[in-house]
Structure 1
Amino acid sequence: MFGFRVPLPSLIGLVVLLAWAVVAIAAPLLVPYSVGEIVDFDIFGPATDQFWFGTDYLGRDVFSRILMGARVTIGISLAAVTLAVVAGVGLGMLAALLGGKFDSLLSRFFDALSSIPNKLFALVAVAGGGSSIPMLIAILALIYTPGSYRFARSLAVNINAMDYVIVARLRGESFFYLARAEILPNILGPVLTDFGLRFVFIVLLLSSLSFLGLGVQPPLADWGALVRENIGGLPFGAPAVILPSLAIASLTIAVNITIDNLPRKIRDRSA
């Protein structure tokens, strides 16, 4: 009727994303128990009417810890990907507009930075700078800024060669105007797609760091930390180790299927 049909997989992905967003925002209001409270002497307990997701290795409520873990995981990942994409897109458009030595030097710097394996860089940086939440956000943002920069620069270079941009430059428009009014609107669709993909990468890297004990530290816990601390329950099929893993999977898969099923005119708009 309106000429716009949302594919079913995309709709499912959006519903899952919306559900996790609500959980991340309202987690303190939704948890039935304090995340650090020992509520049962039965460790790795099964799901019951009282404890919907069972209990963990100390007898704490897993449902409450997963809800609060969503707040930490999504919050850190969203902050990091926002910093990475804003910095990468801004510098990418600036490099495309200025060109010359500035473009060359900035591109070589980010090429050198991106040549370091992500996990190795993260491990060294966390070991040297600590694993506080601000430090984790900064490290994750720094790791994914080079990729965002290269992606945005490649799009901006193509737009910068268009006739309407050349005309605007001849009119004497400033670099800020060219970036804001001519280039950014025409690369926004692909940039948003890239934003979603990098969010997934950051969630997985953050969870990997926490699983290794170098991510979020107690008393806070993200989903990766929940898997690590309850890994002893894996032989018993304890919900305490299985459900945080499913939470990570549901979030990342929901983002991926949402991006994959975006209308083509949104994903491919770069002109």
Structure 2
Amino acid sequence: MSTLPTLMLLLLGVAAGGWVLRFAGQKATGNAPVFRDMPFAVAFGYILGAGLLAFSVWYYFQPTLTEAGTPNAGVVFFRWAVQFFIVATIAAFLFRALGRTVGTQFSKKMFRQMPLTASFGVLVVIVYAFTAIFAAWLAPHGQEAIFAKVNVLPGGNAATGGDPLHPLGTDQIGRDLLSRLIYGAQNTVGIAFVTTCLAFFLGGSLGFLAATLQGWLDQVLSRAVDVLMAIPSLIFALLLMTIASAWAGSERWLLTVYMILIIAVIDSTRVFRLARAVGLNIVVMDYIEAAKLRGEGMTYLIFKEILPNATAPLLAEFGLRFCFVFLTIASLSFLGVGIQPPLADWGTMVRDSAQFINFAAFSPLTAALPLLAAGAIALLTVGVNFVVDWMLHRSSGLKE
């Protein structure tokens, strides 16, 4: 039977199961509200979720080797994903429990109110920050160190082409992949953080200035921002980085500086819009008028009156903007115009090791090499977004 008819039969079976669940629940509970008011879509979702859970359990216990003796890459990768999810959940739970008992009164209260997803996000951010700061001590080798052995397979088993000195193997020119993965946190995350701070300084300052002064300055800045926002950011950044490559010449480190400035200017347009919108709502408040009557200057109004009252939305935007900048840098590096060698970054690692995916049928660990850098990018993005969602929930005044 082809795929489409099989899929249709499965959906019909799930739909029938949803109807049976709702009908049987109404009869068994005497038409209780939980089943009486249950929409069919909710019952369908329950059956679909139960079916996916049962399939996941069945698939997890499938053999990791096929009948021909080759690795079953799908089962191996699925087991790794499930095991990582379980370990991450336990780590987030223990981290939250630790935060509720250790620390200041403020931090303990914060951890008591923190959902498990936010706890996981905070833990991820701390781990990445620690790795980025202490990369020189954590990495077994330097990021630019080149060894005689090239294309060493991961695993550290000499019998299968590995090397104990290189647990994740080496790349095509002999650089240790574990060291470059660790240094990638320092370069990719560190540069993204600096770029985001610069974007917020530019966009936030100009946005508050436009909201405070208004008039012709507001119109000029707003129209300039409209023009920049009309161009797709990644395409615009790629175009400017191509031009910057010609300017940098043989000084490859200049290309990283140009990248920071280009991405900061492009992303500052989004920050400008938010800062201006928030600032316009604040400048009409009575305490702003009172400060003006006292003769306070522009610097005082922006940094002492407007900024403290705009902290919550700006902090939430900072987390989201950091993710976008982080992904933009990884994308530019993947395309070859981002962070330049010998600096290690995850985007370049994904590009350089992409061909190893073809070895999935023979060595799942080798095929996982490009997924390590891509997974590092995805994990930080998810973690930061968990924290941002929690911050938005807290700043909105909503209660559980």
TM-score under structure 1 length normalisation: 0.92
Q: Are 1:175 and 2:283 an aligned pair? A: no
Root mean square deviation, CA, Å: 2.0
Contact kept in structure 2, 1:190 and 1:268, CA below 8 Å = no
Alpha-carbon distance in structure 2 between the residues aligned to 1:251 and 1:265: 21
State the Cα distance separating 1:265 from its structure 2 match: 3.7
Q: Residue 238 of structure 2: SS of its match in structure 1?
A: helix
Q: Which one scores higher on RCO, CA 8 angstroms, separation ≥ 6?
A: 1
Matched ranges for 1:95-114 at <5 A: 95-114=210-229
Aligned counterpart, 2:172: 57
Contact kept in structure 2, 1:190 and 1:267, CA below 8 Å = no
Aligned counterpart, 2:332: 209
Distance 1:199-1:170 versus aligned 2 partners, 3 A rule: same
Aligned counterpart, 2:250: none
Q: Residue 261 of structure 1: SS of its match in structure 2?
A: helix
Provide, for residues 172-217 of structure 1, a one-character-per-residue CA deviation record: whole Å limited to 9, x for no partner.
Answer: 2211111111110000111011111111001111111111111112
Q: Residue 132 of structure 1: SS of its match in structure 2?
A: helix
Match for 1:200 among 311, 319, 323?
A: 323
Alpha-carbon distance in structure 2 between the residues aligned to 1:263 and 1:88: 20
Gaps of 5+ in 2: 1-99, 157-163, 246-253, 361-365
Q: Are 1:190 and 2:313 an aligned pair? A: yes
Match for 2:257 among 98, 115, 134?
A: 134
Which residue identity is paired with 1:134? Answer: V
Alpha-carbon distance in structure 2 between the residues aligned to 1:125 and 1:29: 36
Q: Are 1:28 and 2:124 an aligned pair? A: no
State the Cα distance separating 1:268 from its structure 2 match: 6.7
Match for 1:251 among 353, 371, 380?
A: 380
Aligned counterpart, 2:352: 229
Aligned counterpart, 1:70: 185
Aligned counterpart, 1:240: 369
TM-score under structure 2 length normalisation: 0.64
Aligned counterpart, 2:116: 8
Alpha-carbon distance in structure 2 between the residues aligned to 1:193 and 1:268: 14
Alpha-carbon distance in structure 2 between the residues aligned to 1:186 and 1:267: 13
Contact kept in structure 2, 1:44 and 1:233, CA below 8 Å = no
Provide, for residues 216-251 of structure 1, a one-character-per-residue CA deviation record: whole Å limited to 9, x for no partner.
Answer: 121112100111111121211423312111111111
Percent identical: 39
Contact kept in structure 2, 1:40 and 1:55, CA below 8 Å = no
Aligned residue pairs: how many? 269
Q: Residue 262 of structure 1: SS of its match in structure 2?
A: helix
Distance 1:267-1:64 versus aligned 2 partners, 3 A rule: farther
Match for 1:125 among 230, 240, 251?
A: 240
Alpha-carbon distance in structure 1 between the residues aligned to 2:169 and 2:396: 41
Aligned counterpart, 2:282: 159
Larger-gyration structure (1/2): 2
State the Cα distance separating 1:38 from its structure 2 match: 4.3
Contact kept in structure 2, 1:81 and 1:195, CA below 8 Å = yes
